[in-house]
Structure 1
């Protein structure tokens, strides 16, 4: 069995919690949330909730704010971009907004 601390195995939970599955969205708030988790992992070298076992991580994802400890050198643009990991999907930017975000422009 592949053992991984990556957030990729959590995508179905995020999609279900965000409403992507129910609404049929392919790039909805669950995808935005997953992108944010990937960015956190790129910035910190570990996924959010890496300190928890899988079931505990799933519980925390559904019930608690994501507040990863980011290195102090992370730019304000990157910190703002990470609004996409808010638990409440209504407060996450859309995929279109993220494409236009200054942090995305720096990357491209």
Structure 2
């Protein structure tokens, strides 16, 4: 499925305060079932589209990040809109230079 996606992908939070686009295809897409992601999502997993952080361009707004520590002791910064609370991004100690974006927020442009 990744091969079929366009290389310019955009997204925004629910209220529209934060708008962004990514200038590359995802490196991977998967569901994470770790305990920390279950707590963050309130469900059994979090869906992830993984990109190089340098390819993310934020056009408007400023996400707020919350740092949490998982079962392994490694940190993850989870980014969300300060206005509407929409979860948007995550980046962590385990994968420097990479950022995950919630795939449900993405559209091809």
**Do they fold alike, i.e. is TM over 0.5?**
no
Q: Comparing both structures, which one devotes a greater share of its residues to helix?
A: 1
- The TM-score normalised by the length of structure 2 is 0.25
> TM-score normalised to the size of structure 1?
0.25
